[in-house]
Amino acid sequence: MSLITPSKLIELRKNLSLSQSKLSEITNIKQFKISQFELNKLNLNKDEIKSLQNILKNKLLVNKVLQRKKRYQKHYYTGEVIKKTHRRKYDISINNNKYTSKLKEIYNKHINQKKEFNCISLFSGCGGFSLGASAAGFDLLGFVEINKNARDIYKLNFKNSILLVEDIREIDFLKNKKELINEGYRFICRMWGNVSWI
């Protein structure tokens, strides 16, 4: 047998139906080294090459390994596959109570505050920034939001606000002047509790 090259080793293994794992087992050469050798990323030393040549010549040993029954054949589930217990646990902190209290306060202002100014909301999302504007006394006459799911939530949160357009590029600002343009927080919708005015 001539000197084993990476391509020759691949060919021999395929002809014998011998996996890298089984070859590693019978040669005592780590599998990653065999893999790296076949990919031309690592050279094997002389002893490893010699071991490979001797093992691949030994048809009895190779056949014994190939005919050996797999250790793991099948698996049968005897119980539940997924546990029904909760995997996460959350603790309510002092700050959480302050946070929810502040949100309730802002929401009450949103509902009860006298609206002194008119505005529209751009990049509205579900209305987190609009909630702050409403609590500060702005009446949200209309909104612009391209995302359908966010629009649906916004309509639930601000029933009297009308959808001006879905895509802001369709607005003619010279025709539709308002007292305030609410740009949203950094042009992205933050969910109700994640806005800049809290």
Q: Model pTM?
A: 0.42
The tally of domains found in the chain comes to 2
Within a domain: residue 82?
Answer: no
Q: What is the pLDDT of residue 39?
A: 92
Token digits of residue 120: 């529209």
Strand, helix or coil at 162?
Answer: strand
Closest CA to 141 of 162, 156, 172: 162
**DSSP for 36-48, written as a single string:** HHHTTS-PPPHHH
Domain shared by 52 and 107, yes or no: no
Within a domain: residue 83?
Answer: no
CB-count exposure of residue 129 (10 Å: 0-12, 13-18, 19+):
buried
Q: What is the pLDDT of residue 65?
A: 84
Lowest mean pLDDT among 68-72, 130-134, 135-139, 155-159: 68-72
Cα Rg of the chain (Å, integer) = 35
Domain shared by 119 and 183, yes or no: yes
Angle at 73 between CA 22 and CA 63, to 5 degrees: 35
Would you say 121 and 187 are in contact if contact means Cβ atoms under 8 Å apart? Answer: no
Average pLDDT, the chain: 78
Domain shared by 39 and 116, yes or no: no
**Residue 140 bridge partners (DSSP):** 119
Q: What is the pLDDT of residue 142?
A: 87
Within a domain: residue 152?
Answer: yes
Task: Please tell me the distance from the alpha carbon of residue 65 to that of residue 67, in angstroms, as a whole number.
Answer: 6
Q: What is the pLDDT of residue 193?
A: 40
Domain shared by 104 and 165, yes or no: yes
**Domain of residue 169, CATH code:** 3.40.50.150
* Residue 177 belongs to domain spanning: 100-187
Domain shared by 61 and 136, yes or no: no
Within a domain: residue 72?
Answer: no
**Residue 139 bridge partners (DSSP):** 118
pLDDT grade, residue 36 (50/70/90)? very high
Within a domain: residue 197?
Answer: no
For residues 116, 148, 185, 197, the Cα torsion angle rounded to the nearest 10 degrees is: 60
